[in-house]
A = this chain, B = another copy of it.
Amino acid sequence: MAEQIRAIRTRQAILGAAAKIFEERGYQAATISEILSEAGVTKGALYFHFQSKEDLAFGVLNAQNQSLVVPDRAIKMQGIVDIVMLHTYRLQTDPMVRAGVRLTMDQLAQGLDRSGPFRAWAVPMREGLERAQSQGELLPQIDPAETADVIVGTYAGIQSMSQALTEYEDLVIRVSALMRHLLPSIVQSSVLTSLHLGESRGAEVYAEAVRAMEISQAREDLAS
């Protein structure tokens, strides 16, 4: 058990160091020895967890999708809004999420397949839109797969613009503008007026998701 915890901690330390180096130096310029010295672990420890620089980048890319889940909502479209708001909050507060997004948006990271995160983000969006559609929340012309891609792609650009112009300081305002421009073309107006889109929504959903994760972990610990 102690050994397992140590291994998880080492893996986290390596990923944190990789996120920092990728963000500072870029994927192509970053080297494994820089990540090693930042993480303060042995070469053997690093190669036990990650086989290559590419492998480390995938670790960082995947970290942003893990662990935090938005609870089920009566209005399914609120669930989709909340995924966006939660990610916005994490982008402003979590260096690992920020590094993952930067790697995804780095068009110059050759040799690294950046399509994964775009696809990974589009899947829960499409599923959520399908549930919203089956509840009659969506306008009749909506194709959930197409709209999921529009949400993911537009969000990617809005965050990139916010990063370039203000280092994410105006991200919440820009994401709010994005939602107000997209949602009226997607949902029925009766649904539109019920959605929570306020500036504090991201922080609220984050607190809720962390609580839910802690409860589920406590249950697992009791069961084992």
Contacts and interface: CB of A to CB of B under 8 A. Distances in A.
Interface of A: 22-29, 102, 104-110, 114-115, 118-119, 146-147, 149-150, 152-165, 174, 177-178, 180-186
Contact of A26 (B22, B23, B26, B160): B26
Nearest to A157: B157
A117 to B, nearest CB: 9
B160 A178 contact: no
A137 to B, nearest CB: 16
B114 A164 contact: yes
28 contacts: A24-B110, A26-B26, A26-B110, A27-B108, A102-B107, A105-B105, A105-B160, A108-B108, A108-B109, A114-B164, A119-B165, A149-B177, A150-B158, A150-B174, A150-B181, A153-B157, A153-B162, A153-B178, A154-B154, A154-B157, A154-B158, A154-B178, A154-B181, A157-B157, A157-B160, A180-B185, A183-B185, A184-B184
A153 B160 CA distance: 8
Contacts of A174: 149-150, 153
A24 B28 CA distance: 11
Copies in the complex: 2
A115 B180 CA distance: 24
A165 B118 contact: yes
A122 to B, nearest CB: 9
A160 B107 contact: yes
A4 B74 CA distance: 69
A160 B26 CA distance: 17
Nearest to A178: B150
B149 A161 contact: yes
Q: Closest 7 interchain pairs by CB? A: A157-B157, A26-B108, A154-B154, A156-B157, A153-B161, A153-B158, A184-B185
A147 to B, nearest CB: 7
A146 B182 CA distance: 13
A59 B108 CA distance: 18
A175 to B, nearest CB: 10
Contacts of A24: 110
Given A25-B28, A106-B108, A157-B160, 18 more contacts: A22-B108, A25-B108, A26-B109, A26-B110, A27-B108, A105-B105, A106-B107, A114-B164, A115-B164, A118-B164, A149-B177, A150-B177, A153-B162, A153-B178, A156-B157, A157-B159, A180-B185, A182-B185
